[in-house]
A and B are shown apart, each in its own frame.
Chain A
Amino acid sequence: DTEVTQTPKHLVMGMTNKKSLKCEQHMGHRAMYWYKQKAKKPPELMFVYSYEKLSINESVPSRFSPECPNSSLLNLHLHALQPEDSALYLCASSQAWESGNTIYFGEGSWLTVV
């Protein structure tokens, strides 16, 4: 069982909706990540939080808005998405934002934009 928990597992939303994806870890990790994964493709890094501060934003459109309320929680707020944003969104964490640390992934949230 993964130690990174994501909710919801499935989400269908219209292009005018506002929704959020949630992620939680209790491993004491200080780095948390959001990835986007299309079918049969590798995950693409979207955001990295290190010690609750946004460290990396990989030029993600503003319709995706991350939030890190505390060291255990990571949210991704969604607004005015497009159908091409439909994908698997993976949350992950690691001990620190340093190369070589094992990244632990959640099972993902399947997002469909209609």
Chain B
Amino acid sequence: AQSVTQLGSHVSVSEGALVLLRCNYSSSVPPYLFWYVQYPNQGLQLLLKYTSAATLVKGINGFEAEFKKSETSFHLTKPSAHMSDAAEYFCAVSDPNAGKSTFGDGTTLTVKP
């Protein structure tokens, strides 16, 4: 069975500050991991994904995430927050052999001016 836990349902940062959104996973096999973003009144958009290549993954809009097997983590970071980054962020895990993704509960990112 696979699961994902996003630590912190709400994160608030100032514009220009570091963004750190936490995601820990549980999987019986080496997983595939994803971060999605959902802006208000829109569908989900893939930010980045890890599929067993490089452990540091760069995504769109300046985001990146590092896969750490020893910590079972896949935290999302961005060096400098922008107002347009305010959104809901979902971490997801999937078993390479199963196809189905399991989503975390999401983290709401607020960016203060």
- A41 and B106: CB pair below 8 A? yes
- B32 and A99: CB pair below 8 A? yes
A42-B90, A97-B99, A98-B99 known; A108-B43 Cβ under 8 A: yes
What is the number of residues of chain A that contact chain B, defined by CB distance less than 8 Å?
Answer: 22
CA distance A106 to B41 in the complex (A): 11
The minimal Cβ–Cβ distance linking A96 to chain B, given in whole angstroms, is 9
What is the number of residues of chain B that contact chain A, defined by CB distance less than 8 Å?
Answer: 25
B112 is an interface residue with CB less than 8 A from chain A: no
Q: Which of B42, B94, B106 contacts A42 (CB 8 A)?
A: B106
A106-B43, A108-B42 known; A99-B105 Cβ under 8 A: no
Q: Which of B44, B97, B108 contacts A99 (CB 8 A)?
A: B97
List, in ascending order, chain A residues with CB within 8 A of B42's CB.
Answer: 107-108
Q: Which of B45, B49, B103, B106 contacts A100 (CB 8 A)?
A: B49
Residue on A with the closest CB to B4?
A42
A residues 38-65 with Cβ under 8 Å of B?
A: 40-43, 45, 48, 56
List, in ascending order, chain B residues with CB within 8 A of A108's CB.
Answer: 42-43
- A40 and B106: CB pair below 8 A? yes
CA distance A90 to B94 in the complex (A): 19
- B43 and A41: CB pair below 8 A? no
Residue on A with the closest CB to B97?
A99
B residues 2-61 with Cβ under 8 Å of A?
A: 32, 36, 41-46, 49, 51
Question: Interface of A with B (CB < 8 Å)?
Answer: 2, 4, 40-43, 45, 48, 56, 90, 92, 97-100, 102-108
* 25 residue pairs bridging A and B, Cβ less than 8 Å apart: A2-B43, A2-B45, A4-B43, A40-B88, A42-B90, A42-B104, A43-B44, A43-B103, A48-B99, A48-B100, A56-B100, A90-B43, A98-B99, A99-B94, A99-B95, A99-B96, A99-B98, A100-B49, A102-B49, A104-B46, A105-B36, A105-B44, A105-B45, A107-B43, A108-B42
